[in-house]
């Protein structure tokens, strides 16, 4: 149980990375959450300002070792660590700090299927935590935010997963598309790959280049996306293993610092045609737009754009907003959905804080940016 207080202390592990840095940026000036510890591994002993010079509010703070002993005793702990690195620290914290709210920004606790974890990550499953996507649609008509109100351990979704889930779940839950034939192609900014030095991410390599990765069903986000959409349908593990939801998912690296632009498509459950006697393309379009309006009418951070206006990554940079547009291609019998979001805010740090606010009994939208930065 989390004790309600006027102010909560926060420790951020992985504070020198992109995700950890974005959490700190969003927490600067937060009226209820106060950062008292920043932690890292090889950077321990350095001042944070030498690694995150844009974070003037925290430049004077010394980076402490990222151990359970250092992180224990805080009201909130954020683990912004690589996949596979947070599980061990989280296990120690769970044993020593049962009253601490722990947010894991890595994948270690997202999947409920241990076999899927072993297949895609190649290590032992660390167990499942409450999933940190408040807008996740559940089959009973509720959303994940109701679960998060009682959470003490939160697994924050992947950025690609967030874009695809938000774009497909209204259609899947409404039965408007074939959930076994979903296709997603994403253009991703390079910050989604993390801050570690990698040759293919150097300026000389990425500038002027576009390349795909994790092709043909091998990307680690595939089982997480299918898990989320299965929840919207109310499918159990056996039904999902039998092929209840299937997605062809291809992310593409583009030469921008941050942002995700997702292009999603799926066949209509009943293809409109005069010969078939089923709904016309116009009627199908009305049903599709109604599904999105119903799903997101009251969501502060998901905007379904007016007809004719399509999402752009530049419109959401620096914000916790996701922008969505949809259309029906009557000739092809498919639905097209476009989603844009900032991978470091809406796709990581922002929804981590959204989820933390719910767990702490705070206003979900507290201190989270609604507007993007332009130009």
Residues designated catalytic:
159
Residue with tokens 């476009």: 338
Angle at CA of residue 83, ends 113 and 167, nearest 5°: 65
Q: What b/e readout covers 192-212, taking b as 16+ CB neighbours within 10 angstroms?
A: bbeeeeeeeeeeeebeeeeee
3-class SS shares of the chain: helix, strand, coil, % to 5? 35, 20, 45
State the DSSP code for 56.
Answer: G
The number of CA neighbours under 13 Å toward the Cβ of 352 is 32
Among all chains, which residue has been given the structure tokens 């299918």?
226
Count CB atoms within 10 A of the CB of residue 97. 18
- Give dist(CA 3, CA 235) in Å, integer: 35
As to burial, measured by CB atoms within 10 angstroms (0-12 exposed, 13-18 middle, 19+ buried), residue 261 is buried
Q: What are phi and psi of 314, to 5 degrees?
A: -65, -20
Nearest CA among 172, 173, 194, 190 for reference residue 181: 172
Q: Which tokens is 354 given?
A: 């959204």
Residues 6+ apart with CB under 8 A from 268: 176, 177, 178, 284, 328, 333, 334, 335
336: tokens are 């097209």
Query: Could you tell me if 270 and 276 are in contact, meaning their C-beta atoms sit under 8 angstroms apart?
Result: yes
């Amino acid at each position: 149980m989390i004790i309600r207080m006027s102010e909560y202390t926060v420790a951020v592990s992985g504070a020198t990375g992109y995700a950890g840095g974005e959490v700190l940026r969003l927490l600067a000036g937060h009226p209820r959450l106060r950062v008292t510890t920043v932690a890292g591994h090889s950077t321990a002993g350095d001042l944070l300002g030498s690694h995150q010079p844009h974070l003037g509010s925290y430049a004077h703070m010394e980076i402490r070792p990222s151990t359970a002993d250092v992180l224990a005793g805080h009201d909130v702990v954020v683990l912004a660590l690589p996949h596979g690195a947070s599980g061990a620290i989280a296990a120690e914290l769970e044993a020593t700090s049962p009253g601490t709210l722990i947010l894991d920004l890595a994948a270690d606790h997202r999947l409920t299927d241990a076999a899927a974890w072993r297949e895609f990550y190649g290590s032992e499953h660390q167990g499942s935590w409450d999933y940190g996507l408040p807008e996740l649609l559940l089959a009973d008509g509720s959303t994940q935010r109701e679960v998060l109100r009682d959470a003490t351990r939160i697994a924050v979704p992947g950025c690609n997963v967030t874009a695809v889930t938000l774009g497909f779940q209204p259609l899947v839950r409404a039965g408007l598309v074939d959930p076994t034939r979903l296709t997603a192609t994403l253009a991703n900014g390079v910050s989604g790959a993390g801050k570690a030095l990698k040759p293919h991410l150097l300026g000389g390599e990425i500038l002027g280049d576009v390349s795909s990765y994790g092709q043909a069903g091998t990307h680690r986000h595939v089982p997480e996306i299918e898990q989320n959409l299965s929840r919207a349908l109310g499918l159990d593990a056996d039904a999902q293993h039998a092929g209840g939801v299937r997605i062809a998912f291809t992310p593409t690296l583009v030469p921008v610092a941050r942002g995700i632009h997702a292009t999603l498509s799926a066949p209509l459950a009943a293809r409109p045609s005069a010969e078939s006697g089923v709904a016309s393309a116009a009627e199908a379009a009305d049903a599709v737009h109604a599904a999105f309006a119903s799903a997101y009418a009251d969501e502060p951070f998901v905007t379904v754009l007016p007809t004719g206006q399509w999402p752009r990554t530049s419109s959401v940079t620096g914000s916790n907003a996701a922008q969505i547009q949809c259309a029906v291609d009557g000739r092809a019998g498919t639905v097209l959905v476009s989603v844009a979001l900032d991978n470091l805010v809406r796709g990581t740090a922002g929804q981590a804080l959204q989820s933390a606010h719910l767990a702490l009994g705070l206003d979900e939208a507290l201190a989270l940016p609604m507007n993007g930065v332009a130009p």
